[in-house]
Amino acid sequence: MDAITAPMNTASGEFIGTGDQLGLPDKLSFLVSYGEFFVAVLGNKGQGKSLLIEQMKSELHGVCPTAVIQSGDLRDNDLLSLLGRCFELQQAGEKRGLNLEQLVKYASDLRDQGKKPVLLLEDAHLIKDKLLANILSIVERCNIGLVLFGLPSLRKKSSIKKYDSRFYFCQLGALSSAELRSYIRRSKPQDLSLIHISEPTRLLSIS
């Protein structure tokens, strides 16, 4: 799928953008929870990926079960159990293993209720290709919504290329100072004189 551009974030914790970039957390949340595609959010350090995860969690709260997993928590031999704990199918320390069919049934029962479990995976570029391929296979089999967050190099992984037609790629980029000032004039004109803008703009700095 073609990439879509995305907005930046402010130091106060608000994700911003202009034009079709406005409301990205809501748009991505809707896409992953009701659509048939996976999503990969690509951006360099400091471009708002972690903030976007938090805002997507908020958007999805009460709408569908949502799990957030750090790449460092993943182990190939514990993947199903980790998903079970994150979706509260298992308790921490529970010795009973979770099998794939149980996860399939869980997702199927939710689908009958018009819901879909969603997995937000942070720093996905750090995951080994074999493990990432296993994750993609499981979420596809179970019909789990998936959003990968990582550096642009994530798209070069062979496991991602294999599923390329299933992905929407969201490339984060810096706003120009003119775009940012336009946003501030529309939404927070009282703060315009307090804000220092650097070029290219990634973050707002408020005095």
Q: What is the pLDDT of residues 65-105, one digit of tens each?
A: 999 999 888 887 788 888 988 898 876 556 666 789 999 99
Which of the four pLDDT bands, split at 50, 70 and 90, describes residue 44?
Answer: confident
The candidate with the shortest Cα–Cα distance to 53, out of 6, 117, 4, 120, is 120
Q: What is the DSSP string of the chain?
A: --EEEE--B-TTS-B--SGGGTTHHHHHHHHHHHSS-EEEEE--TTSSHHHHHHHHHHHHTTTS-EEEEEGGG--GGGHHHHHHHHTTSS-TT--S---HHHHHHHHHHHHHTT---EEEEETGGGS-HHHHHHHHHHHHHHT-EEEEEE-GGGGGSHHHHHTGGGEEEEEE-PBPHHHHHHHHHHH-GGGGGGEE--SSB-S-EE-
Q: Output the average pLDDT for the chain.
A: 77
Predicted pLDDT at 17: 47
What distance in Å separates the CA atoms of residue 34 and residue 16, rounded to the nearest whole number? 23
Which of the four pLDDT bands, split at 50, 70 and 90, describes residue 2?
Answer: very low
| 117 compared with 204, residue with greater pLDDT | 117
Residue 56 has pLDDT above 80, yes or no: yes
Q: What does pTM read for this prediction?
A: 0.76
Residue 131 has pLDDT above 60, yes or no: yes
The candidate with the shortest Cα–Cα distance to 104, out of 137, 68, 78, is 137
Residue 184 has pLDDT above 80, yes or no: no
Residue pair 6/172 in contact by the 8 Å Cβ criterion:
yes
**Mean pLDDT throughout 9-19?**
46
Predicted pLDDT at 91: 63
Of 25-29, 69-73, 94-98, 171-175, give the lowest mean pLDDT range: 94-98
